[in-house]
Amino acid sequence: MYRVLCLTLILATCVKSSVLHLEFDPNPTAIVIHGSKVITVTYTQPLPTPLNLKFNSTPQISFDPTEITLKDDLKEAVINITAKKLSSAVFLEVTDCNLVGNDSAACPFNKSLTFGVVQVVHSQILSYLVVVTGWIYVAAWSACFYPQILLIYEHKSAQGCHFDFLVLNVLGYACYLIYNVMMYFSEDMQNLYLESHPKSLIPVLLNDVLFSLHGLFICIFTLLQCLYYELHRRNRASKVSPEEHKKEMEAKQMPHHPVHDDGHLMSYTCMVFCSLIGIFVIITASLSMMGVFTWLRFIDNLALIKMIITACKYYPQAVHNYKRKSTLGWSIARVWLDFIGGSMSIAQMILQAVNTDDWSGFIGNKGKLGIGLLSVGFDIVFVVQHYLLYYHQKPIDEEEEETVEKGKKY
């Protein structure tokens, strides 16, 4: 799922270091083609007898030396790696392992779980750009929640936001957080993942956990904020005449009609969709508890739900703006930050593919590519709505014009 993350950013090995007796540092590492880099091989456990290790040769990289001997008083060795051919990931593996004087003894570590990862790239500058674009899209997607919160607070109204969008956001981030927490903190889950994906890096890092936790918290806060202002509006509207309520909402440049004609905050479609997701999660969790399939399958389903929700959550808001013929109350700053995040996400994938001449990560990671394209596509729709279709709205007095200008700041 996070294959497109630059391997030079990942500081963790495929399993917890306490499980591995042989370590490579740095791991992963990136080398510019035709260049060289030194890595250190360290054995972390006692060695009663010397240990001989031989490493695999590949068309992409060469080693010097190809064989090392580690001893109890010298558990560290240096290998010089030369890059010969571009590759997004080459594995530095131990092909032969034996204890000196005891050829019949088993290798003291698990060779299938012990490997280094080398990335051969065109340019170190492009590698830095991969890192920079990664941080930009994470920062932009993290910050895009706040302009909407500020706008709702300033207008004291939630009518610019569609509750379907808000609820789907909460549900999506809840699934995403559960996936990240279980994958990052559960060693059993990591072992299941490595059994299904040999020689792969665990796809969740601490920053993924923190990002999803932050996203869920902010989405819940925004939903409660909108719920408070909408219920307050409806309560106030029930105590005044329709004409007074209409004048009050027009003074804020907000539509005076309810969010839905039937008075419901959420659409029936969203209610049914969320109910089906809830039933699906309960059933799959029950089947996992009964051992019908693994917990890894369960959290993979949660990740799939998150992608599906991301793909469809923008549609209700776009339709909401169309029906109101207005984007007031829907933060254009949020849209631009989301656009930057989606664009940088796609740019990172392209830079990674160009730098290694390997487009499999770009084409094969349909989830991230699809989410990025959909986000950018809907953001373009929102920009067109805001600046072209519904921009020229006539304020009725100076106070109203001041309110409109406040709304455009966010």
CB-CB neighbours of 286 under 10 Å: 11
Q: Residue 20's pLDDT is what? A: 53
Q: Residue 246 — pLDDT band, cuts 50, 70, 90?
A: low
Residue-wise pLDDT tens digits, 251-291: 555 554 444 444 578 889 999 999 999 999 999 999 999 98
Q: Residue 403's pLDDT is what? A: 42
pTM over 0.75, yes/no: yes
Task: Kindly state the percentage of the chain with pLDDT values over 90.
Answer: 32
Q: Residue 62's pLDDT is what? A: 87
- Chain mean pLDDT for the chain: 81
Distance CA 124, CA 30 (A): 8
Distance CA 141, CA 136 (A): 8
Q: Residue 326 — pLDDT band, cuts 50, 70, 90?
A: confident
Distance CA 80, CA 304 (A): 41
Residue-wise pLDDT tens digits, 170-195: 999 999 999 999 988 988 888 888 78
Low-confidence winner among 17-21, 28-32, 37-41, 373-377 (lowest mean pLDDT): 17-21
Q: Residue 198's pLDDT is what? A: 74
Q: Residue 102 — pLDDT band, cuts 50, 70, 90?
A: confident
Selection from 10-14, 213-217, 248-252 with the highest mean pLDDT: 213-217
What's the alpha-carbon Rg for the chain, to the nearest Å?
27
Q: Residue 408's pLDDT is what? A: 47
Q: Residue 8 — pLDDT band, cuts 50, 70, 90?
A: very low
Residue-wise pLDDT tens digits, 222-243: 999 999 988 887 777 666 656 6
Q: Are 126 and 351 in contact (CB under 8 A)?
A: yes
CATH code for the structural domain at 7-121: 2.60.40.2030
Q: Residue 287's pLDDT is what? A: 93
Instruction: Check pLDDT > 50 for residue 202.
Output: yes
Residue-wise pLDDT tens digits, 115-158: 888 888 988 899 899 889 989 988 999 999 999 999 999 888 88
> What are the residues whose beta carbons fall under 8 Å from the beta carbon of 186, sequence distance 6 or more?
none
Q: Residue 201 — pLDDT band, cuts 50, 70, 90?
A: low
CA nearest neighbour of 162 among 367, 378, 374, 369: 378
The position carrying tokens 């729709």 is 381
Low-confidence winner among 221-235, 284-298, 320-334, 388-402 (lowest mean pLDDT): 388-402
Q: How far is CA 5 from the centre of its chain?
A: 10
- The three state secondary structure string of the chain is CCCCCCHHHCCCCCCCHHHCCEEEECCCEEEECCCEEEEEEEECCCCCCCEEEEECCCCCEEEECCEEEEECCECEEEEEEEECCCEEEEEEEEEEEEECCECCCCCCCCHHHCEEEEEEECCHHHHHHHHHHHHHHHHHHHHCHHHHHHHHHHHCCCCCCCHHHHHHHHHHHHHHHHHHHHHHHCHHHHHHHHHHCCCCCCCCCHHHHHHHHHHHHHHHHHHHHHHHHHHHHHHHHCCCCHHHHHHHHHHCCCCCCCCCCCCCCCCHHHHHHHHHHHHHHHHHHHHHHCCCCCHHHHHHHHHHHHHHHHHHCHHHHHHHHHHHCCCCCCCHHHHHHHHHHHHHHHHHHHHHHHHHCCCHHHHHCHHHHHHHHHHHHHHHHHHHHHHHHCCCCCCCCHHHHHHHHHHHHC
Q: Are 17 and 11 in contact (CB under 8 A)?
A: no
Residue-wise pLDDT tens digits, 62-73: 888 888 888 878
Instruction: Check pLDDT > 60 for residue 404.
Output: no
Q: Residue 356's pLDDT is what? A: 86
Instruction: Check pLDDT > 60 for residue 398.
Output: no
For the chain, what are the domain ranges? 7-121, 127-409
Q: Residue 407's pLDDT is what? A: 45
Q: Are 389 and 331 in contact (CB under 8 A)?
A: no
Q: Residue 7 — pLDDT band, cuts 50, 70, 90?
A: very low
Q: Residue 385 — pLDDT band, cuts 50, 70, 90?
A: very high
Q: Residue 396's pLDDT is what? A: 30
